[in-house]
Structure 1
Amino acid sequence: MAGPNVAVIIEDDADIRGLISEILEQAGFTVHAAGTGAEGIALVEQHDPAITTLDISMPGMDGFETAKRIRAISATYIIMLTARADEIDTLQGLQSGADDYITKPFRPRELRARVEAMMRRPRVIASDLREDPAPDTDPTDPDASAADAGWMTHRGLRVHPEMHLAEADGTHLDLTRSEFDILTDLMGAGRRVVSKSDLALMLRGERYVGGSDFVSEHDVRAIEVHVANLRRKLGESATRPRWIETVRGVGYRMTAR
């Protein structure tokens, strides 16, 4: 598990690195900072942080490649910082494994709000959990029942919120935290449609704490990219889905059993 009060900053600009360090330290984090992607990866591997901020434009290994390498070794929340607001950079960042991005220049309170939202995400959505026995287990077998406790299942797809595990047809799924949270939310909702705005608020932690209802185009686009990445990892098509249906103009829901 990641250190709950540990953060890693990967930023080549010393002034911005210092500013981010100050913001996160004021938020209660122990901060470790690096000026290059390679140094940052080493810090993530050493300290297993809860949060990692990552600059895109760095000499040598850029932020996209750094994010991919971090995601291969850690479930840390990754917030990308970019001076470019182009949509292609946003998409590439999220596809590299980032959970969110912020465009420079940014306000300190904006970064702190994004970090706090990530840290308060519920890991289990108790009111929505629906536990089903695995299709190949005997419900009268106490050992099988214990092994399947806490799993949500749907047509060969299994998710365990507490253990942060996801499997499709017995194969482990390597999901980012945002992808995992979206999948868990959709599985908990079943055939009920979950809007993109609701998913965005869930990722910001605001659906559960009575926060603001404002959802920007950036938030909606990020959800679309996360779902596209999730589908790619599931190996399914948006036009002929096995698991996640798009309800045009509304949001997403799980397919019928």
Structure 2
Amino acid sequence: MTTILIVEDEARLGDILEEYLRREGYATERAMTGLRALELWRAARPSLMLLDLMLPGMDGLEVARRVRAESPLPIIMLTARDEEVDRLVGLGIGADDYVVKPYSPREVVARVKAVLRRSGGEVNVPTLQRAGPLSVDTAAFEVRLDGRALDVTVAEVRLLSALARAPGVVRTRAELLSALGGLERGTDERGVDAHVKNLRRKLGEHADLLETVRGVGYRLRPDS
């Protein structure tokens, strides 16, 4: 499954893009700041980045510069004005495409497909992820602990998959709720806590694999 990193500080726009991309079979990661975008880029190894130009703190230009210094990752910039495209081109940032707001989500998806085709960049995230004694198979919706299958729900598989893609990286409750992909509409972020509590019970003596980062969210123990 190809992963798209959406870097957009407007939650509603990010939600819409994520919904359309998932309909097309893409996995998604979400970041609302430049620093978080760089962290997820390194940890989740996305195939393409949708990058808003105007971000709080580190802006999209700086994010693109830092990524380009290390990687040929395809980048589609999301800009608010046509003039910003001229600015980006003039600065030689090296974005692979540009989309001007307000945009059609369908247009963005079409651009994503086109850029991935040009770059040959359909880099797939394995459906089987391992973290210490834990394995998560998102194709079979199966979780195993020391080789033993656990009785888990689809929601629990998706939460563990989001964590197992990058052990040690903290996932906020909002990110984990997004990972459910509409399975539990109307559930607030505290619903994530209930899932984590159930998972810890099922993990038994390995419950400490799931670490709480107070005031932020959860992560899989980095040495797992």
TM-score of the superposed pair, with normalisation by structure 1: 0.44
Structure of higher CA gyration radius:
1
